Structure 1
Amino acid sequence: MAQLVWRKSTFSEPGSDTCVELALDPTGTVHLRESDAPGVVANAAPSAVAALLVGIKSGAVPRS
């Protein structure tokens, strides 16, 4: 598999090591990790990530 290209949230503070990062692989799977624990990766379908973001933005999923 090709190397994943990780992207940090645009809400992350510059130089911060506690950011959410996302990567998309060629199969369409979304990979999520926290930059302070790069070896721990969660995988999800794009539709699941989209639903999570809608829930966070609407307040249905609380931000911590």
Structure 2
Amino acid sequence: MSEIAWQKSSFCAGGGNNCVELRSDAGAIRLRESERPRQTIATTPAALRALILSAKAGELDHLTH
């Protein structure tokens, strides 16, 4: 079985090691930071979609202040 390639975020800073990467793995979405490639988290497509929509709508802005 071939390994599934990781996709880097389009917001990756210059293609270095400051990137969020993701891949689909048997129905789950796996995420990792390129600085720590062995540490991953898994989520569902629906949960990731909800997170992205919340971030785009500004619903998480209070967490950065």
- Give the TM-score taking structure 1 as reference length: 0.84
Match of 1:12 in 2: 12
Deviation at 1:2, TM superposition (A): 4.4
Higher helix fraction (1 or 2): 2
- Give the TM-score taking structure 2 as reference length: 0.83
Structure 2, unaligned runs of 5 or more: none
Q: How much identity, in percent, do the aligned residues show?
A: 37
Across the aligned residues of Structure 1 and Structure 2, the Cα RMSD in angstroms comes to 1.7
Aligned residues: 63
Distance 1:49 1:15 in 2: 23
Match of 2:47 in 1: 48
Distance 1:6 1:31 in 2: 9
**Which stretches of structure 1, 4 residues or more, deviate above 4 A after TM superposition?**
none
Given residue 21 of structure 1, which amino acid in structure 2 is its aligned partner?
Answer: E
Deviations, residues 12-60 of structure 1 (Å, cap 9, x unaligned): 12232111001002x2110000000101000000000001101111111
Larger Rg computed on CA atoms: 2
Distance 2:2 2:49 in 1: 24
